């Protein structure tokens, strides 16, 4: 499991426990930001500052070696972790891949990965992508482009959650029943991809 820019917080530890309860043999929560220490303050600004210390291409190379060494057969990534999932699909690293609210438009970095939009049309490794139609970080144009690429390439198993924004899985316990229902639907899709059933 690859978290967002906030790292391995309580949400991801809870999600790892959920996957284990659902029958995952072993769940490894991998923190790309561990070498840079904990966030002094849990703010978006602090998380982005720490995120920019990560060299994306070098990190994914290390991640691929780790996956091979551990014989991992499924990876789920969130936000920036979803960007890494696109690269794992491109390099055909594992057979079960899920990306929640990723960045097909790529992200700036001192050691950037290739922009997924540039290679998704030719990608043959099946992967599940789960996004919200109201994700401001993805944006309407990028969502439309992703939808067009998914229509043209059945390796992209795209699911668009109506009324959901970036990070919508955090709404699983929301008092807003509509938001909670969307989050639960997204959770089921990802769980089915990772564990079958």
Please give the tally of structural domains in the chain: 1
In a domain, 107, yes or no: yes
User: Known catalytic residue: 154?
Assistant: no
Task: Please state the separation of Cα 89 from the chain's center in Å.
Answer: 12
Q: Which CATH number covers residue 35?
A: 3.40.50.1820
pLDDT at position 95 is 87
Catalytic one of 4, 56, 127, 166: 166
Asked whether the predicted pLDDT for residue 32 surpasses 70, the reply is yes
In a domain, 97, yes or no: yes
Catalytic one of 4, 8, 56, 135: 135
- The 10s digit of each residue's pLDDT in 50-62 is 999 999 999 999 9
Asked whether the predicted pLDDT for residue 124 surpasses 80, the reply is yes
In a domain, 4, yes or no: no
In a domain, 2, yes or no: no
In a domain, 58, yes or no: yes
User: Known catalytic residue: 166?
Assistant: yes
In a domain, 132, yes or no: yes
The pTM assigned to this predicted structure is 0.96
In a domain, 119, yes or no: yes
Q: Give 118's contacts (C-beta < 8 A, 6+ positions apart).
A: none
User: Known catalytic residue: 159?
Assistant: no
In a domain, 47, yes or no: yes
pLDDT at position 197 is 66
The 3-state DSSP class for residue 167 equals coil
- Classify the phi-psi angles of 2: left when phi > 0, otherwise alpha if psi is within -120 to 50, otherwise beta: beta
- The 10s digit of each residue's pLDDT in 129-180 is 999 999 999 999 999 999 999 999 999 999 999 999 999 999 999 999 999 9
Closest Cα to residue 117, out of 132, 135, 134, 129? 129
Domain of residue 40, residue span: 10-195
Catalytic one of 79, 114, 159, 162: 79
Q: What is the mean pLDDT of the chain?
A: 96
Give yes or no for a contact between 155 and 162, defined as CB atoms under 8 angstroms apart: no
């Amino acid at each position: 499991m690859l978290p967002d820019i906030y790292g391995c917080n309580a949400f991801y530890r809870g999600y790892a426990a959920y996957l284990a309860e659902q029958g995952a043999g072993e769940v490894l929560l991998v923190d790309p930001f561990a070498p840079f220490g904990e966030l002094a303050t849990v703010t978006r600004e602090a998380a982005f500052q720490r995120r920019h210390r990560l060299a994306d291409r070098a990190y994914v190379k290390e991640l691929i070696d780790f996956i091979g060494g551990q014989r991992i057969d499924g990876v789920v990534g969130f936000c920036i972790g979803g960007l890494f999932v696109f690269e794992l699909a491109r390099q055909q690293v594992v057979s079960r891949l899920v990306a929640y609210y990723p960045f097909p438009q790529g992200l700036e970095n001192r050691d950037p990965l290739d922009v997924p939009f540039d290679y998704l049309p030719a990608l043959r490794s099946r992967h599940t992508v789960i996004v919200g139609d109201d994700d401001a970080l993805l944006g309407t144009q990028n969502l439309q482009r992703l939808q067009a690429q998914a229509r043209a390439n059945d390796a992209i198993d795209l699911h668009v959650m109506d009324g959901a924004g970036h990070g919508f899985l955090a709404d699983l316990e929301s008092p807003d029943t509509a938001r909670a229902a969307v989050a639960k639907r997204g959770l089921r899709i990802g769980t089915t991809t990772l564990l079958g059933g």
